[in-house]
Amino acid sequence: MSDTKTKKITGYVMPVGNGAVGKTSMALTLQHDQLPADWQNYLKAVKKTINMEFQYATDKLEAPKTQYHILHQYLIPPGQKDFEVDPRSRSYDDVLEIYAPIIRRIDVVLLSYKVTQLDSFNDLEYWVEKTSGICNDKTNFILVGTHLDQKDHREVSKESIVTGTKYVYQLLKGIRTTWQGHCTSLEVSNTSGENIRNLKTLISQGLILSSGHALH
């Protein structure tokens, strides 16, 4: 008889980054394994600048003697900074102030940027500092470069990503000296689906580790 155990893991994932880097599209792609046919109409209907968006995805991972069934719960705040909003919209801080009382923990943070937009990559330090207050010692961080299908027009070099990932790791250790999470990076295309499966696996692994379980 097999002695493989089944464990159910539920965790919270927060994609953050500047506006229009593809956070909502990425969550939709992770949920459906590709962008739904009506994704453009969906994005038009989402009140992204005034509220938190909620999505989910499911996954399975095999580890020695354990099969994990994982539920990703995505909390997607606006990408607008305080000085970028108008009277009709809300910033990241405005929305987090509303939802902070019910956010118990964030297990994985997706630091999102466009590979074709250097400013969105350079602003990741801002988003690290913004999310550090709702994270814990086991929160895992993934730098996610979107729009990989437009890599011929990239502004963010491979070398910058390696350096930036190391910098984010050191920044997190400086902000929270007891932090024991992981920091990695990946580039994806929400449109073509390139590397989306790999990203889903990284997120699932982060949720497992954050919950205190082992992958080996």
Radius of gyration for the chain, computed over Cα atoms and rounded to the nearest angstrom: 17
CA separation for the pair 207, 103 (Å, rounded): 16
pLDDT digits (tens, 9 = 90+) for 88-109: 788 999 999 999 888 878 999 9
DSSP 92: H
Q: 10 Å Cβ neighbour count for 101?
A: 7
The tokens describing 33, both together, are 């394994």
HSE, CB side, 13 Å, CA atoms: give it for residue 37. 0
* Mean pLDDT along residues 19-35: 87
Q: What are φ and ψ of residue 62, in 5° steps?
A: -100, 135
Level-2 CATH architecture, domain 5-210: 3-Layer(aba) Sandwich (3.40)
Q: Is 86 helix (H, G, I), strand (E, B) or coil?
A: coil
Q: 10 Å Cβ neighbour count for 11?
A: 22
pLDDT digits (tens, 9 = 90+) for 1-11: 467 899 999 99
* Mean pLDDT along residues 173-195: 95
| Cβ-defined contacts of 173-181 (< 8 Å, 24+) | 175/128, 175/129, 175/132, 176/132, 176/135, 176/137, 178/137, 179/135, 179/137, 179/139, 180/137, 180/138, 181/135, 181/137, 181/138, 181/139, 181/140, 181/141, 181/206, 181/209, 181/210
Examine the pLDDT at 66 and tell me if it is beyond 60: yes
Which sequence spans correspond to the domains of the chain?
Answer: 5-210
pLDDT digits (tens, 9 = 90+) for 40-65: 666 655 555 578 999 999 999 998 88
